[in-house]
């Protein structure tokens, strides 16, 4: 018996990284999965992986910063699988031109906020009512360890957007707790995903980040998917308004280990 048997899960950013790893794992655990990505081809590729492994999934193209697209993706879950029980607002960007306050343009700031913060807001706006209609469930919002720490390599728009995700998650958890809807934030540490590796595009930048991680390595998308599975499942039934830091110890570190 899977930990998500009988559940319908919607995952944004499902075409790569944490989203793809979570889609395949959730399906293995019995969920029917709506794989959402702005790149429909990558979402479809994730669905193909799920189906090849014996799972059920459907691909939906959506821009999470769009009201219409966000409403449509949630409607697709209800229309295709009859409800919604897990909402994983995971889609995000880390722009290569995101730097300090002086270097970061208004356009980069607005784009980052639109996807990383507004996208989570819209996912909750439409996802939570659908979950209430389905009898309750779990919302997981992807934040980041940078919401706690000033990054050695500046990325002010990204950092601010993830701080917003944390605050939003706490408030929605309080508002919807009596409706059977749990809301938690997943805060990954530095990961060996395409998103971060494109940002840390030199060995010097990678080492500047890694030197602060007590475990001495980047995390893996599969490790984040397993954390998300815990938050999605009934194993975390008394957890809401919390943050799950899965960061290799970086936020606990004070002295850089030799």
Domain ranges of the chain: 8-190+220-237
Contacts of 133 (CB under 8 A, 6+ apart): 78, 83, 84
Q: Which of 81, 88, 126, 158 is catalytic?
A: 158
Instruction: Provide the pairing of β-strand 8-12 with 32-37.
Output: parallel
Pairing of strands 137-142, 56-61: unpaired
Q: In this structure, what token pair is assigned to residue 8?
A: 């319908």
- Give me 162's structure tokens: 């993830």
Sign of CA dihedral 14, 34, 36, 236: negative
Given 3.20.20.70, 3.30.420.10, 1.10.3720.10, 3.40.50.720, which CATH number is that of 8-190+220-237? 3.40.50.720
248 CB-contact burial (10 Å; exposed 0-12 / middle 13-18 / buried 19+)? buried
Active site (annotated) includes residue 158: yes
258 residues of the chain, pLDDT tens digit each: 899 999 999 999 999 999 999 999 999 999 999 999 999 999 999 999 999 999 999 999 999 999 999 999 999 999 999 999 999 999 999 998 988 999 999 999 999 999 999 999 999 999 999 999 999 999 999 999 999 988 777 899 999 999 999 999 999 999 999 999 999 999 999 888 777 777 777 887 778 778 889 998 999 999 999 999 999 999 999 999 999 999 999 999 875 555
Contacts of 209 (CB under 8 A, 6+ apart): 151, 152, 153, 190, 200
What are the phi and psi torsion angles at 2 (to 5°)? Answer: -80, 155
CA quadruple 97, 98, 99, 104: dihedral sign: positive
CA dist 51 and 102 (Å) reads 47
For the record, the structure tokens of 245 come out as: 């830091």
């Amino acid at each position: 018996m899977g930990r998500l048997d009988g559940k319908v899960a919607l995952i944004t950013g499902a075409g790569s990284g944490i989203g793809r790893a979570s889609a395949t794992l959730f399906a293995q655990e019995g969920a029917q999965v709506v794989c959402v990505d702005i790149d429909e081809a990558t979402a479809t590729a994730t669905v193909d992986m799920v189906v090849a492994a014996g799972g059920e999934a459907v691909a939906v193209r959506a821009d999470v910063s769009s009201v219409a697209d966000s409403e449509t993706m949630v409607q697709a879950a209800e229309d295709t699988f009859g409800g919604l029980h897990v909402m994983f607002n995971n889609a995000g960007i880390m722009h290569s031109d995101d730097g300090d306050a002086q270097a970061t343009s208004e356009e980069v700031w607005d784009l980052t906020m639109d996807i990383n913060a507004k996208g989570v807001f819209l996912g909750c706006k439409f996802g939570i009512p659908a979950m209430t209609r389905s009898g309750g469930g779990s919302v997981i919002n992807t934040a980041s360890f940078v919401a706690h720490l000033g990054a050695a390599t500046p990325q002010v728009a990204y950092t601010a957007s993830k701080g917003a995700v944390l605050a939003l998650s706490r408030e929605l958890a309080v508002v919807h707790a009596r409706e059977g809807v749990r809301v938690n934030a997943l805060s990954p540490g530095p990961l060996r995903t395409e998103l971060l590796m494109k940002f840390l595009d030199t060995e010097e930048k990678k080492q500047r980040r890694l030197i602060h991680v007590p475990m001495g390595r980047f995390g893996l998308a599969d490790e984040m998917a397993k954390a998300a599975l815990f938050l999605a499942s009934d194993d975390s039934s008394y957890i809401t308004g919390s943050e799950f830091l899965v960061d290799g110890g970086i936020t606990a570190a004070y002295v850089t280990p030799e």
